[in-house]
Chains A and B, each alone.
Chain A
Amino acid sequence: MVFVSLLLAGIALGADPTPAADPNATDPLWMVGVKAFLVIFGLLTAFAYMTLIERRLLARIQIRQGPNRVGPDGLLQPLADAIKSIFKEDLVVARADKVVFVLAPMISVTFAVLTFGLIPFGPKDAFFGYDPWVINLDVGLLYVFAVSEMAIYGIFLAGWASNSKYSLLGSLRSSASLISYELALGISLLAPVVLVGSLNLQNIVNWQHENGWLILYMLPAFAIFLLTSMAEAARTPFDLPEAEQELVGGYSTEYSSIKWALFQMAEYIHLITAAALIPTLFLGGWRMPGFMEQLPVIGGLFALPYVWMFAKIALFLFFFIWVRGTLFRLRYDQLMVFSWGRLFPLALAWFMVAALVVAYKLPVAILGWLSLLSLVAFSVYVILTSKPKPRALPRMGAGD
């Protein structure tokens, strides 16, 4: 099943008939196929080791050891987990809708894998004479939205096909929250797109090389995009699908063995893709910080291809794990109010500000100052609204 979905994804990635924005920039089809395979293989490996890194880091945050028995420092743990989940009994619920039940995890993984090929990892011809990206779409960001919207169906159909009330409730909840956050995510990206004037990821990276990183101009959009992409990957403040107290296992309650692993895989691949998209859009992509290029020795020394991109991805993955170790889960109504009542209007307001600046050809630096102002305003808001620490509360037992 893994192979079928991977094959589908590979075909979809490799045989994409869309020509690149620059007609003489296309690679031969076999090379695109090789790169698509590499991307998928890399994503699967990254997924396996993300589970290990996440468990070890969480353990460190919670002052315990984490998995360290299988291999040196637990390095073979992902392998053991994979073997375990493959050889577990693969249950199909008797009253389930069998076709959709089997189809749902495949849909999840397929649409999770599809986005990563867009992300540029270096300048043109940096991959042994070929381009270090799989496809270069002139409507790149729209493609990202399209694929992430289609990814909802996996969760949705899994819950319905299981024919169990926990699954159905879990899938309704998580798909409702996904749809809500999709909206804020899309609108938060409109502001950078309007400023850059292109939907192509490489144009966005090049614009940042010439004008400075977009996070400097677009801090609110960056913050909203960061939060919403965490919600899209169902990470901890927003991880309703895993609200065990209320929903058992959410949409994947009835899934076991490799099918369950496929859902996990899709979730982590979404996370890795988000961790690659955020730096591409807001932190200069594969390029090093602009001031370092000016330095005499260091500029030449650190101009390694790929390294900066991988470093940025690792930074955001660490951030996601850190957040998971620190924050607790939001309640369902809080989750919805946060998306519709806070993020969505904020994203819309910031988009209008950016559109005004672009339409009236005001200097772009205004957006930078407004970003700084919004940071200050947010800090003041947090300081003013945070409650004083309660003193002398009676101890009610561990946890709440």
Chain B
Amino acid sequence: MSAGFWEILALLVLVGTGIAVVRLQNAVHAALALIANFLVVAGVYVALEARFVAMVQIIVYAGAIVVLFLFVIMLLSAASANVGADFLPRLPWVAGLGALALAGVLTFAVTRFQPPAGAPALGGGLPQALGPLLYDPEKWLYALLVVGFLLLVATVAAVVLIEPERIIAATGHPAHPRQEKKPNPPIAEQKDERAVVKR
């Protein structure tokens, strides 16, 4: 396996942006470096003719997930978080060792990798080839359903956490017993009030 110009460039940019994500002091800059990293990963996928995976990489990771990161960073104004005390003083060392171990395992895996004989060709990772495999009950259908259910549970949990008042109104008992605040009127009622005032 020979590494050409583009492979080395991709490797350098990937490692550089990865280091930037960890080392940049400003969280928004780190998120930008993360976007760059994801875009280069998508480019590597394209070069490997896995176009579907490349697009999903951009849509899900570079798009949705980093946008969420940025929302959290901006709403909490945590762009340059300076908490004073370093709560995990040995974290860089442990993380560095972990990264080295991971790099070793990955190098070993990549150099020893043999594609299994008779593996299905996925046609450049096209959706037409991926779909039947993903939704095949003998392959990955149940795994997919389990993942989907997990995400549903997480969504319901998030709704319960942010809107305890509606849960009380719907079920009759409080999800968080300590909160006894008067619930905000729903949006529909607010609208009506405003209309009455105007007239």
Contacts and interface: CB of A to CB of B under 8 A. Distances in A.
A160 B51 contact: no
Interface string A189-213: 0000000011100000000000000
Interface of B: 26, 28-29, 32, 35, 46-47, 51-52, 55-56, 58-59, 62-64, 67, 70-71, 74-75, 79, 124, 126-128, 187
Main secondary structure of the interface of B (DSSP, over half): helix
Contacts of B63: 145-146, 149-150, 152
Contacts of B32: 100, 103, 157
Given A139-B51, A142-B55, A150-B63, A160 B46 contact: no
Contacts of A145: 55, 59, 63
Contacts of A17: 46-47
A49 interface: no
Contact of A150 (B46, B52, B62, B71): B62
A137 B51 contact: yes
B162 to A, nearest CB: 14
B58 A146 contact: yes
12 contacts: A17-B46, A97-B28, A100-B32, A137-B51, A138-B51, A139-B51, A142-B56, A150-B35, A172-B74, A179-B64, A179-B67, A333-B187
A100 B29 contact: yes
A316 interface: no
A146 B47 contact: no
With most chain B CB atoms within 10 A of its CB, the pick from A97, A139, A152 is: A139
Interface of A: 17-18, 97, 99-100, 103, 137-139, 142-143, 145-146, 149-150, 152-153, 156-157, 160, 168, 172, 175-176, 179, 197-199, 333, 337
B60 to A, nearest CB: 9
A156 B70 contact: yes
Contacts of A176: 71
Contacts of B128: 197-198
B70 A139 contact: no
Nearest to B39: A150
Main secondary structure of the interface of A (DSSP, over half): helix
Contacts of B67: 149, 152-153, 156, 175, 179
A139 B55 contact: yes
Contacts of B74: 160, 168, 172
A139 B126 contact: yes
Contacts of B52: 139, 142
With most chain B CB atoms within 10 A of its CB, the pick from A153, A172, A179, A337 is: A153
B28 A337 contact: no
A337 B51 contact: no
B188 to A, nearest CB: 9
A17 B62 CA distance: 20
A195 B128 CA distance: 13
A146 B52 CA distance: 11
Given A146-B55, A146-B59, A172-B74, 11 more contacts: A17-B46, A100-B28, A100-B29, A138-B124, A146-B58, A149-B63, A149-B64, A152-B67, A156-B67, A160-B79, A172-B75
Contacts of A139: 51-52, 55, 126-127
A337 B29 contact: no
Given A100-B32, A150-B63, A199-B127, A337 B187 contact: yes
A149 B127 contact: no
Contacts of A198: 128
A205 B28 CA distance: 41
A100 B51 CA distance: 30
Nearest to A333: B187
B46 A18 contact: yes
A103 B29 CA distance: 11
B35 A153 contact: yes
Instruction: List 9 A-B pairs, minimum CB-CB distance, nearest first.
Output: A149-B63, A142-B55, A146-B58, A139-B51, A146-B59, A139-B55, A146-B55, A145-B59, A139-B52
A149 B58 contact: yes
Nearest to A396: B198
A340 B28 CA distance: 28
A142 B46 contact: no
Contacts of B187: 333, 337
A22 to B, nearest CB: 13
Contacts of A149: 58-59, 62-64, 67
B39 to A, nearest CB: 8
A227 B99 CA distance: 47
Contact of A138 (B29, B71, B75, B126): B126
Contacts of B56: 142
Contacts of A172: 71, 74-75
Nearest to A198: B128
Contact of B51 (A18, A99, A157, A197): A18
